[in-house]
Chains A and B, each alone.
Chain A
Amino acid sequence: MLRLQNVTFTVPQNEKGGKNTILDDVTLDIEDGSYVVVTGPNGGGKTTLAKVIMGLVKPDSGRIFLDGMDISSLDVTARSEAGISYGFQQPPRFKGITVRDLLSIAAKRKLKKEDACHLLTKVGLCATEYINREVDTSLSGGEVKRIEIATVLARAETSKVLIFDEPEAGIDLWSFHRLTKTFRELHEESNCTIIIISHQERIISQADEVLLIADGKLSLRGKPEDILPSIDDVEEKPCMVEMDK
């Protein structure tokens, strides 16, 4: 089980002081092997929540447990070794590192062509076209994003928790369709806990559970059929900019 206990994360508001609260005393449990979608308004704290779990940002307070072990003080590498994987919302590019190299790093072994091909097919990419290409600016945003997802899939065998941060961003309709199928298959075939940050109804509707994060708080959780209708009720933040008089 993945457990977050009273996790708070703030950032400085401005030079004069003050703080913006991004995560506000969040406590939640996610059962092993479940397929959870985290959704909510932009700026509500979803990505920060994922980064806190992966160790990419350090919360001001609170603790994180994985299978009863307190991982709060572990760095990113150690959390990866403990079984957490994270697909970035905006993945970096690597000049000189090929798609196969990156997938091999993720899988912790030199991947055979057919293994890399298998992973790339799951994200809707033709392996023969991509396997030896560098993960650099010659690839489109959607291509890099799908390779990023493939790096997380490469770790499915050795991970306990797989986190995908807006996997649909920048991806065409055909690839999106393939991805939703991949997530469904992954849930059926592996024991991993799958956490997907998403705004897509199609991804939300196939989850076991949906967490609605707004204003840094877990405002709702439940089955997709219960949560989806109530999303309309989430209050929009009023614009704080003063209008010219």
Chain B
Amino acid sequence: MNQDIRRGLLEKIADLHDVPAGAYNIRENGESVRQNTEEITIETKTDKPGINIIVKSGTKNRSVHIPVLITKTGLTEMVYNDFIIGDDCDVLIVAGCGIHNTGDEASAHDGVHSFEIGKNSHVRYIEKHYGEGNGSGERIMNPEMTAHLAEGASMEIESVQIGGIDSTNRKTVITAEEKCEVLLSERLMTDGHQDVVSDTEIILNGADSKARINSRSVAKGNSTQLFYPKLTGNADCFGHVQCDSIIMDDAKIRSIPEICANCVDARLVHEAAIGKIAGDQILKLMTLGLTAEEAEEKILNGLLK
């Protein structure tokens, strides 16, 4: 793989300039380079493509990087990654996929991620998707994620797709037991003829559990976005869904938040807003010395930050 392309993709999807510290598994065109640590073991699955990431109980302030890079046109892969996080852990997991496609065949990566998070553990999971290359072949990513949080566990998910992916169908299901906390932040930008479907469900099964889904997006060109964020409360819990989208050009956005209470003590709220950039926002930033184009960029970057 061309080292400049490799470096560029790694920087975009994982903020990496070099090999990361700690445990990692860098998958490049289907081949993996890996490092384990005493506390974190990464092993290849024997029954299907993918890896198991096993974090020992009590592991604190450690990180795992598992970026996927694809530069071969026509390469399509389906990868199953299972994360088994012990009790009382505090770990950062940086995933993400970068596709550089200069050919005329579609390149696709479909990652199926499954998390089992132990009691009182905290996981911060960052997943960035990015595509580039001037070929006519599509860049496709269809990530699926399931997570189960044991009592007292918490999970922060940052999902970012800010450019270059032609088609995405994302499905996420998270189940949380007592005293859990889930914070899911989604940032999306689409342009041209890109299409995104994002289907997210968080199910709060335990008392004193909380969840927030915060989805922000920008749709430009002729792109389409479809959001189905759903929160289900089966206990004394709190949940909040917020979707904010800026629509531009000839784009189309559908946002369909759903809240579902199956317990009298469940408190669930949803908000969704779609709108173009307000003229007075642009004018305000122009009074501060920005051009109209710079103002627009600032507003979009702010929303997607």
Could you give, for residues 278-300 of chain B, a 1 whenever the CB lies within 8 Å of some chain A CB and a 0 otherwise? 10110111111111100000110
Q: A56-B283, A75-B286, A88-B280 are contacts. A96–B305 as well, Cβ < 8 Å? A: yes
Contact between B288 and A94, CB atoms less than 8 A apart: no
Instruction: Spot the interface stretch: A2-10, A17-25, A79-87.
Output: A79-87
Say whether B304 faces chain A, with CB atoms less than 8 Å apart.
yes
| Chain A: minimal CB distance from B176 (Å) | 25
Q: Which chain B residues border A90 with CB–CB below 8 Å?
A: 280
Nearest opposing residue in chain A for B278, CB measure: A92
Could you give, for residues 41-52 of chain B, a 1 whenever the CB lies within 8 Å of some chain A CB and a 0 otherwise? 000000000000
A-B contact count (CB 8 A): 55
Say whether B216 faces chain A, with CB atoms less than 8 Å apart.
yes
Interface residue tally on A, bucketed by range: 20 to 34
Contact between B288 and A95, CB atoms less than 8 A apart: no
Interface residue tally on B, bucketed by range: 20 to 34
Q: Which chain B residues border A234 with CB–CB below 8 Å?
A: none
Say whether B303 faces chain A, with CB atoms less than 8 Å apart.
yes
Contact between A96 and B303, CB atoms less than 8 A apart: yes
Contact between A80 and B302, CB atoms less than 8 A apart: no
Question: How far apart sit A166 and B284, CA to CA, in the bound complex (Å)?
Answer: 16
| Chain B: minimal CB distance from A77 (Å) | 5
Say whether B258 faces chain A, with CB atoms less than 8 Å apart.
no
Q: Which chain A residues border B292 with CB–CB below 8 Å?
A: 77
Contact partner of B285 (CB less than 8 A), chosen from A75, A81, A105, is A105
Say whether B244 faces chain A, with CB atoms less than 8 Å apart.
yes
Contact between A94 and B302, CB atoms less than 8 A apart: yes
Nearest opposing residue in chain B for A154, CB measure: B288
Interface residues of B in 59-107 (CB under 8 A from A): none
Q: A88-B280, A92-B281, A97-B299 are contacts. A76–B305 as well, Cβ < 8 Å? A: no
| Chain B: minimal CB distance from A179 (Å) | 19
| Chain B: minimal CB distance from A143 (Å) | 16
Contact between A97 and B302, CB atoms less than 8 A apart: yes
Question: How far apart sit A91 and B280, CA to CA, in the bound complex (Å)?
Answer: 8
Contact between A86 and B287, CB atoms less than 8 A apart: yes
Say whether A54 faces chain B, with CB atoms less than 8 Å apart.
yes
Question: How far apart sit A97 and B292, CA to CA, in the bound complex (Å)?
Answer: 17
| Chain A: minimal CB distance from B155 (Å) | 22
| Chain B: minimal CB distance from A238 (Å) | 33
Contact between B304 and A96, CB atoms less than 8 A apart: yes
* Residue among B216, B286, B287, B302 with most chain A CB within 10 A: B287
Give B contacts to A, CB under 8 Å.
Answer: 216, 244, 278, 280-281, 283-292, 298-299, 301-305
Q: Could you name 24 residue pairs across A and B whose Cβ atoms are closer than 8 Å?
A: A54-B287, A75-B286, A76-B283, A77-B289, A77-B291, A80-B286, A80-B287, A80-B289, A81-B289, A86-B287, A88-B280, A90-B280, A92-B278, A94-B281, A95-B216, A95-B244, A95-B302, A95-B303, A96-B304, A97-B298, A97-B299, A105-B290, A108-B289, A151-B288
6 A-B pairs with least C-beta separation: A96-B302, A97-B302, A76-B286, A96-B303, A92-B280, A80-B289
Give A contacts to B, CB under 8 Å.
Answer: 54, 56, 75-77, 80-81, 85-86, 88, 90-92, 94-97, 101, 105-106, 108, 151, 155
Not counting A75-B286, A96-B216, a sample of 13 additional A-B residue pairs whose C-beta atoms are within 8 angstroms of each other reads A54-B287, A76-B287, A77-B286, A77-B291, A80-B289, A90-B280, A94-B281, A94-B299, A95-B303, A96-B301, A105-B288, A106-B288, A151-B288
